[in-house]
Structure 1
Amino acid sequence: MTPLPPPRVTATPLLGGPLPAAALHALATRGSGPVSEVRSLLTGRPAATVPHSTPADVFAAIATATDAQRVWARRPERDRRAALARLDRWIARHRTYLGELLAHGSGLCGTDTADELRAAERALRPGRRSVPPRVRELPRTRGVPHARGVPLVRELPRRRPATTVATHTDDSRPLASLLEAAVPALLDGSAVLSHVSPRAAVLAARLCAAAVAAGLPAGIWRLVIAPPGSPTAAVLDEHAETVIPPCCPAPCPGARRPGLLVVRHDARLRTAVAQAGRACFSRAGQGCTAAPIVAVHDTHHATFQRRLANLAAHLPAGGAPGARSSALSSLPGSGPCADFARFARSIAHDARLHPVLTGGHRPDLAPYVHEPVVARTAPGPGPGPLPDPALLAAIPPGPLALVVRYTHWSDVLALAHHTGRHATLITNGRSAHLATQFAGLPADDIR
């Protein structure tokens, strides 16, 4: 008896959504694991059927990619660059279609979708250069910062041309993170195996299909579809020749280290408010570069807090997250939305917090949209103005700004013991000498 082939990723017509054409695309990605149903973050209705990859699928993908890499590496560099340039042009022609996929799959609003597409264009920029940029040799565990507000991307170590390179995508930046890791490896003549979550699988599969149509060999860019932290992803990392790890692995529940934004005494207030709004509220506070902890110097505290709350209260809803004018993205599902809504309601009853702007759940816009929340923290049990560290670890991802008032720079350094690896310093002076003072602290990406 002939065994049935493993199922393909399929995208169903989205009832009530603007994306029926997604059902017409043959997305050449198979998996032999369990099949999951992915719901649109824009409508809440079933949007795609996604088979998960298994360890056996990983071994098969590595074998296929290795064969394709032999062909790809023998091509002249100008041919590899030309193929990626054609992919770049395909993305430019299909911005509207990709924007719809980002809205349904990742819940990105119009503003965040535009940012994501610009980041994708930047990621493909090396393919337009006549001379490839030198890729610095780096330890596997370190990263190199890219544009402000963009997570660190581990660059490909230049020990020798790799056969297979494993990459991991970020669900809050599915298109840009996919390209940022894959493009340097493809230019180098390597094959790429991208680990994507089921939610990002349709977008990733469509992009890989477009890459083959642009001239990349079939099999040179493979997908491994599995939830973050799954055994399948671990098998991929173990057996690929080179691994480009995620910027910040997903934390365990209750152990989150949120990002930090610091407003210095010499900061320009208008700039500080605008940057804080993007760091706290864009992409619904998802992603490792989100900075829900905002430390503000006494000089600006009252005015900054008032202006930030006013900015948050007037972010345009635009009718739905996918609308071009919308600035409110969706949370990634019913569970995260319920967790954040519960936290927002608890602020009024938590002695550690004082509400400034308490937004609410907006199912009239989309099932998982929540308005921004602004609160200020009360001093914790320790000395000085620092909030309770247990509070910081328990903050759920979402469109949130917790304003911490500080007087002395040492307060900021003490706070940074409990925040993550990404920190932004808003100052009118040079920040390089300040960044060195974070040595030994979790923050190693100071911008």
Structure 2
Amino acid sequence: MASPTAPAKGAAEHTLPQTLIDRLASRVASTGAGSATIPSPFTGEPLATVPLSTADDVRKAYERARDAQRAWAALPAGERVKPFLKLTEALVDRREEILDIIQLETGKARRHAMEEFLDVALCSLYYARRAPKLLKPKRRQGMMPVVTRVRELRHPKGVVAVIAPWNYPFALGASDIAPALMAGNAVIHKPDTQTCLSSLWVLDLLVSLGLPEDLWQIVVGEPAEIGDPLVENADYVSFTGSTRGGRAIAEKVAPRLVAYSLELGGKNPMIVMPDADVERTARGAVRACFTNAGQLCISIERMYVHEDVYDRFVPRFVELVEGMKLGAGLDFDAEMGSLTYQRQLDAVTRHVDQAVEEGATVLAGGKARPDVGPLFYEPTILADVNGDMDLCANETFGPVVAVYKYRDEDEVVARANDTAYGLNASVWTKSPARGRRLAARIQAGTVNINDGYGAAFASYDSPMGGMKQSGVGRRHGAEGLLKYTEVQTVASQHFMDLEPPGSIAYDKFAGYLVNGIKLMKKLRIK
């Protein structure tokens, strides 16, 4: 049974300075018609009160953003990246402040808040270093050498709507917004109300580092109130959230033919091969399954263990999970924190209880821990899970993993791919080459070998996203910035036209063209 940690020094208060809350609240694009109180998941007590935005506030935010965007887009990309080049050092200098905010608004352990901190620092720096080159006009091959000259240009979309989730609010807000801004856009950003403080904090920091006012604006409110004007006025929509929410976004923007990117749900498999290092794999599985209490779209929820190693691996995995430390301290001692919402606790409880009632076996965990905090649930391992159980195929989004035994690679590939989702997967083996061959057969946007999720996600030079019902488009890599641009081809014709010159008959001109094609192929010009 996972045990609570001792209270951290000074952590019992679980509060933020009122001066900080007031400053952050002033960054919400709102006329102050209403407000919302954010509770701390650790205690259930009020953490902060922030103003809510109305539909009219959203429309006015777009007006201000369009004015700011025109001046911003006129700057060279080398000028636009300057605030972001300063951001990394500023984050390092104020690390403790933002880690406290992330923990207190989400309930996650500090080591998992640290992952968010690192993501924003490193991802924004990656794009700040590369944006000028990615956005630079590029010479492309024309129809005819020398005669046709072609350049590819990149223009900003305009004003981008970014709808960020509650589970990783700092990382999945700022890390998506940074490339959109560097590409020359303005951003209207809707974080989840519960977890808006970290986004308001980094916006406030970037303005102090030189980001123009009104270029990035944050609106706070429920989708029923501000969702329509947010999407209806956008030139591009970036959404991270549920598959159901992604479908609704796609339907909303389809009549206007507005482009979008969606990172959605997952039911991610982990495959333990017969040659896997049992100790390393068991420790890696703890991280893969229970980071942020499993509230991670790329977290592992299905684990397939080869029959040759099952009886050694599973007991060790169970032992490690039963020894995990739960806690609400603002230090690095706890290995897992709280769930963020009561509805999430209810969903996890429902999935586990239904599975147990229908024959699943609890190997570790299996119950809520109100003695630690109101939204804590033990890290849980289940066996004997079958297709009749909701937990088998549907995303749980909590600290629960189902363990299955398999016999051969063809079987495990079929079982790993037997899902509507395709976001992330993990393969554990002593042979990376064998792991890569297996990875190529798995229908997932990212596959990690001897890691649960971080190796792929934190490789910012490579695209990250989902297949099937797990999403459309990618973040990271060149695509993570260029998706926020409109590409334009400008071609100029020199010396001769694409028509027969003078009195040359067209049939003879056609012959010249055909011979030219053969010559260009022979000379490898084409």
Provide the rounded CA distance (Å) in 1 between the counterparts of 2:68 and 2:115. 33
Paired residue secondary structure (1:180): helix
Contact 1:108 1:322 in 2 (8 A): no
Q: Give the corresponding residue for 2:216.
A: 221
Deviations 1:115-161 (A, max 9, x none): 2211121122135527645379xxxxxxxxxxxxxxxxxxxxx8522
Provide the rounded CA distance (Å) in 2 between the counterparts of 1:58 and 1:200. 19
Q: Give the corresponding residue for 2:109.
A: 109
Q: How does 1:192-203 map to 2 (within 5 A)?
A: 192-203=187-198
Q: Give the corresponding residue for 2:369.
A: 362
Q: Give the corresponding residue for 2:164.
A: 169
Q: Give the corresponding residue for 2:46.
A: 46
Q: Give the corresponding residue for 1:396.
A: 396
Q: Give the corresponding residue for 1:183.
A: 178
Contact 1:262 1:296 in 2 (8 A): yes
Q: Give the corresponding residue for 2:340.
A: 332
- CA change 1:338–1:266 in 2 (3 A) is same
Instruction: Give the residue type in structure 1 aligned to 2:368.
Output: H
Paired residue secondary structure (2:401): strand
Deviations 1:315-372 (A, max 9, x none): 223x425332111121112232233235445554331x11111254233332211121
Residue 311 of structure 1 and its aligned partner are, at CA, apart by 1.3
Instruction: Give the residue type in structure 2 aligned to 1:217.
Output: P
Instruction: Give the residue type in structure 1 aligned to 2:231.
Output: D
Residue 56 of structure 1 and its aligned partner are, at CA, apart by 2.4
Provide the rounded CA distance (Å) in 2 between the counterparts of 1:251 and 1:236. 14
Paired residue secondary structure (1:405): strand
Moved more, 190-199 or 417-426: 417-426
Paired residue secondary structure (1:68): helix
Instruction: Give the residue type in structure 2 aligned to 1:85.
Output: L
Could you list the runs of 5+ residues in structure 1 that have no partner in the other structure? Answer: 1-13, 137-157, 381-386
Is 1:236 aligned with 2:220? no
Contact 1:166 1:242 in 2 (8 A): yes
Residue 395 of structure 1 and its aligned partner are, at CA, apart by 5.7
Number of equivalenced pairs? 399
Q: How does 1:377-416 map to 2 (within 5 A)?
A: 377-378=384-385, 380=386, 387-388=387-388, 390-394=390-394, 396-415=396-415, 416=417
Contact 2:352 2:391 in 1 (8 A): no
Contact 1:123 1:176 in 2 (8 A): no
Instruction: Give the residue type in structure 2 aligned to 1:29.
Output: V
Provide the rounded CA distance (Å) in 1 between the counterparts of 2:377 and 2:91. 30
Paired residue secondary structure (1:305): helix
Could you list the runs of 5+ residues in structure 2 that have no partner in the other structure? Answer: 1-10, 137-152, 247-263, 449-526
From 432, 439, 445, the counterpart of 1:435: 439
- CA change 1:161–1:256 in 2 (3 A) is closer
- CA change 1:350–1:256 in 2 (3 A) is farther
From 247, 250, 263, the counterpart of 2:272: 263
- CA change 1:256–1:18 in 2 (3 A) is closer
Residue 247 of structure 1 and its aligned partner are, at CA, apart by 6.5
Instruction: Give the residue type in structure 1 aligned to 2:364.
Output: L
Instruction: Give the residue type in structure 2 aligned to 1:125.
Output: L
Deviations 1:396-443 (A, max 9, x none): 3211121011112233233222263222222323234323433xx5x3
Instruction: Give the residue type in structure 1 aligned to 2:414.
Output: A
Contact 2:131 2:183 in 1 (8 A): no
Contact 1:65 1:191 in 2 (8 A): yes
Provide the rounded CA distance (Å) in 1 between the counterparts of 2:288 and 2:65. 38
Q: Give the corresponding residue for 1:96.
A: 96
Residue 280 of structure 1 and its aligned partner are, at CA, apart by 0.9
Instruction: Give the residue type in structure 2 aligned to 1:195.
Output: K
Moved more, 181-190 or 161-170: 161-170
Instruction: Give the residue type in structure 2 aligned to 1:295.
Output: Y
Which gives a bigger RCO, structure 1 or 2 (Cα 8 Å, sep 6+)? 2
Residue 201 of structure 1 and its aligned partner are, at CA, apart by 1.5
- CA change 1:329–1:121 in 2 (3 A) is same
Instruction: Give the residue type in structure 2 aligned to 1:372.
Output: P
Deviations 1:27-86 (A, max 9, x none): 321336653322111221112223443332222111111111122223343332221122
Q: How does 1:232-381 map to 2 (within 5 A)?
A: 232-246=226-240, 249=243, 257-317=266-326, 319-345=327-353, 348-351=356-359, 353-378=360-385, 380=386
Contact 1:321 1:327 in 2 (8 A): no
Residue 98 of structure 1 and its aligned partner are, at CA, apart by 0.7
Moved more, 110-119 or 47-56: 47-56
Instruction: Give the residue type in structure 2 aligned to 1:47.
Output: L
Provide the rounded CA distance (Å) in 2 between the counterparts of 1:205 and 1:395. 29
Contact 1:108 1:330 in 2 (8 A): yes
Q: How does 1:57-96 map to 2 (within 5 A)?
A: 57-96=57-96
Paired residue secondary structure (1:29): coil
Deviations 1:368-405 (A, max 9, x none): 11121111125x4xxxxxx4464424563211121011
Rg larger in structure: 2
- CA change 1:281–1:34 in 2 (3 A) is same
Deviations 1:93-112 (A, max 9, x none): 21111111111111110211
